[in-house]
Structure 1
Amino acid sequence: MKQDKVLGALLAAAIGDAMGAPLDSLPVYLIKRLCGGGEFVRDYTAPPEGALAPELKKGMVSGSFSSAFAAVEAFVRHGGISDQAVTESLLEWKNGRYKFYFDCCADPTTRYCIQKLEGSAPAEDQDKFTGFQKTLNSGAAARAWVAGLLHPGDPDRAVRDALVMGLPTHDNVIALSGACAVAAGTACAMMERSDTGRIVEAGLYGAQTGYRKALEVAGDAAGASVEKRIRLAVRIGLSCANDLERCVNEMTDLVGTGSPANEAVPAAFGFLVSAGGDVMETIYRSVNAGNASSAVATMAGAMAGALRGCAGLPPRHLEYLSDVNGMDLAGTARAVSALI
């Protein structure tokens, strides 16, 4: 059961990222026109003209999953999450086996923070951006589900390690609140008896606790509450549960599905609830909302996959994504299971 949930989370997160990456930055109507032949996308597609990362081939993941997978591998090598393991994973993502994904997908502020970490940051001072708003994005949250994966049923330890994972690149209370929400939600999803309601409660706890703890170690930031926006996203998801088109449009219009953590993270919870925890339906709703679709679908997919395991995932995805991306998803799932 434990290994099935771990593999479910890894695989569903990879599916979400790979399906969502070509749709990043697109609005809903253009997704249907450019990528779905007039319909919503329900499979892997090649990046359309003008895509955010045109270098990605059909079925390739982007920065969201590749950075998380580099983290998983580092944590397995180190026997858990630590400052050293986090630094190693970020530098491996930038310079090692997953350098391709970093080069074509890392956002400018994450790129700069990792360069600062290794002492190679460019001379120009990017810290001139106002306050800590530059690190408000969902990059840390898109990796934070890994902390929940390693702490089944223990949201407090998941929150603690989500902060360790997120601080080097996202020194921002709102970004870290979002990361802690995803970590706690995934930790709850990894329990043998869980459901979407419990995952939402854990996510709300993570957002609130993570914000409070982040205030002690991270930079201030102005912005909407992750916790309150999760509540809004869940209300929208429940009200649109039987209408995919209405769901993606209302989530996009009212919560937002953009890169900021206080949009992408709540949307992930909203889509999870709207799909009733069904793994592929959660992913379809997440990717077809566009904007930061790869990040939203990675987070929502990880939580849904941890909840349902591999049972809700067509077998073809594992071999296909492992081959296209050169990642041993099944072997890594076994290693993580042995660790927890």
Structure 2
Amino acid sequence: MTPLEDKATGCVAGAAVGDALGGATEGWTPEQIVARYGGAVEGIVPPYNADWRNARPIAPYHKGDGHITDDTLMTHALIRVYEQAGGHLDAYSMAELLVPELMGERVWIPELEADALPLQRIFLAEKWIVARLHYGHVDPREAGVGNIVNCGAAMYVAPVGIVNAADPDAAYAEAIDLTGAHQSSFGREAAGVMAAAVAEAMRPGATVDSVIAACLRLAKDGTRAAIDAVCSAARDHGHWEGSFSALRAAMRPFDTVADTYRDQGLGARRPSRIHSIEELPLALAFLVIAKGDVRETVLGGVNYGRDADSIASMGGAIAGALGGLASVPSEWVEEIGTASRTDIVAPGRAIAEVARRVHAADVARRRAHESAFEGLLGS
């Protein structure tokens, strides 16, 4: 296995295990999680409410028990899009390739315990992609405008970082273009920064510090300020236990989602230059606290609660890219793959092969440009 394959599979598997473990604690406070499970969550646990079919009628999903959620479904769909395109993606790729994946290709949906279309599982903010691009025929570059601003694009954008491995600037630019068809404002910005974080983590010799530095260099407005504040607070903690109050306090000025997670005000999830999604800064904070360890990065997000599956998935993706496949707990990979009836390693190998071919094409294009520009210089 090449370092590219190792880091790519670590990234994709790390994202999936974070997603699956965090699904059981999504939407709850740390205190509620401890009360329900008799202590901190250390691995795969059953759903918070055993009557999952009826607990939330609008979202009758079997979370927990090692089931991946829409974060991983969307990540794998994006990898399949990259395989079809065989090159870089843009907003038009979302319309031409991702929409058919969401509304035309049945896959096993663990939370539904059935073969179904991804469209039948994804959240309303992701259904927006199909509504705007397929039914509304909106210009893909502008289709994200009007959607609620959330982590929906950032949660599945890690493959963009793998395709642009070791080039966070290119990853940021490609993610910003691609996700313009889905998100706007700080939701789109977070997707760009998340892709950049993965691209930096893919670099040989990358560290937690180099990942945070790349994020701060590229992030804009409230997203940058939130990452700076939350990661600064994280450096005061040696373990995620005991860190949650401080991290939430650091994030609160930038978040539009209330402390009571399911009870939001009218200003929630609206465009802003001074706000940020919570998930990416928290994922980076747990990465800092865990010093890049996949298990502890993921468990920090899982036990923090709130949007736990996305926080843990983003953190797991970055940590997995830093450490490679062996850094992702093998028992989690095996148990989650079995419980979800989904190979969570193979998509990483697939996107590594896409990255290799895309890089070769990029090099050829750069060489041609260098030669042409030398002619312009008369040398």
- TM-score, reference length from structure 2: 0.76
Residue 182 (structure 1) aligned with residue 178 (structure 2): no
CA-CA distance at 1:250 after TM superposition: 2.1
Residue 149 (structure 1) aligned with residue 149 (structure 2): no
Residue 78 (structure 1) aligned with residue 85 (structure 2): yes
SS at match of 1:159: helix
1:13 to 15, 20, 24: 15
CA-CA distance at 1:203 after TM superposition: 1.2
* Deviation readout 1:268-326 (Å, 9 max, x if unpaired): 11111111001110000011111111111111110000001122222223333333333
1:230 to 214, 217, 227: 227
CA separation of 1:113 and 1:86: change in aligned 2, threshold 3 A: closer
1:315 to 330, 350, 362: 330
CA separation of 1:143 and 1:203: change in aligned 2, threshold 3 A: same
Q: d(CA) in 2 for partners of 1:3 and 1:244? A: 30
Letter in 2 for 1:107: F
Letter in 1 for 2:11: A
* Aligned residue-pair number: 313
Residue 279 (structure 1) aligned with residue 294 (structure 2): yes
Asked if structure 1 preserves the Cα contact closer than 8 Å seen for 2:128 and 2:147, the reply is no
CA-CA distance at 1:132 after TM superposition: 5.6
CA separation of 1:330 and 1:54: change in aligned 2, threshold 3 A: closer
1:68 to 75, 96, 121: 75
CA separation of 1:162 and 1:335: change in aligned 2, threshold 3 A: same
Letter in 2 for 1:248: F
1:193 to 184, 205, 223: 205
The equivalent residue for 1:97 is 106
Higher CA-based Rg: 2
Q: d(CA) in 2 for partners of 1:165 and 1:99? A: 26
CA separation of 1:44 and 1:95: change in aligned 2, threshold 3 A: farther
Letter in 1 for 2:46: A
Q: Which runs of 5+ in 1 are unaligned?
A: 122-126, 212-224
* Deviation readout 1:35-72 (Å, 9 max, x if unpaired): x22x1111112212247653335111111121011101
Identity of aligned pairs, percent?
23
Q: d(CA) in 2 for partners of 1:323 and 1:120? A: 39
Letter in 1 for 2:179: G
Q: Which runs of 5+ in 2 are unaligned?
A: 50-54, 112-117, 138-142, 262-268, 270-275, 356-379
Letter in 1 for 2:245: N
1:107 to 123, 126, 146: 123
Q: d(CA) in 2 for partners of 1:71 and 1:29? A: 35
Q: d(CA) in 1 for partners of 2:172 and 2:80? A: 20
Q: d(CA) in 2 for partners of 1:120 and 1:95? A: 17
Q: d(CA) in 1 for partners of 2:287 and 2:201? A: 11
CA-CA distance at 1:152 after TM superposition: 1.0
Deviates more, 1:244-253 or 1:66-75: 244-253
Residue 303 (structure 1) aligned with residue 318 (structure 2): yes
* Deviation readout 1:253-281 (Å, 9 max, x if unpaired): 43158696531111111111111001110
Asked if structure 2 preserves the Cα contact closer than 8 Å seen for 1:75 and 1:81, the reply is yes
SS at match of 2:176: helix
CA separation of 1:332 and 1:278: change in aligned 2, threshold 3 A: same
Q: d(CA) in 1 for partners of 2:169 and 2:135? A: 32
Asked if structure 2 preserves the Cα contact closer than 8 Å seen for 1:141 and 1:180, the reply is yes
The equivalent residue for 1:32 is 34
Q: d(CA) in 2 for partners of 1:162 and 1:190? A: 16
Asked if structure 2 preserves the Cα contact closer than 8 Å seen for 1:190 and 1:306, the reply is yes
Q: d(CA) in 2 for partners of 1:164 and 1:264? A: 21
Q: d(CA) in 2 for partners of 1:94 and 1:28? A: 36
Which structure shows the higher helix fraction? 1
Q: d(CA) in 2 for partners of 1:63 and 1:322? A: 15
* Deviation readout 1:218-250 (Å, 9 max, x if unpaired): xxxxxxx0100000111111111x242221232
* Deviation readout 1:103-161 (Å, 9 max, x if unpaired): 5653323223322222179xxxxx9xxx9674310011111222111111111210122
- TM-score, reference length from structure 1: 0.84
The equivalent residue for 1:41 is 41
